[in-house]
Amino acid sequence: MRINFYDQDVIIPDQDLLGPLPGYLGKERNSFCWPIVSAKVKGNKAHLQMVNDYGSEDLEATLTRENDSIYVLKQGKGSTLKVPNDGKWQKLPSTLPFVRPKRQ
Give the pairing type, strands 82-85 and 70-78.
unpaired
Tens-place pLDDT, residues 66-98: 998 999 999 999 999 988 888 888 899 999 999
- Which pTM value belongs to this model? 0.88
Q: Is residue 73 a contact partner of residue 25, using CB atoms and an 8 Å limit?
A: yes
Tens-place pLDDT, residues 12-35: 988 888 899 999 998 777 778 999
CA nearest to 12, candidates 41, 29, 32: 32
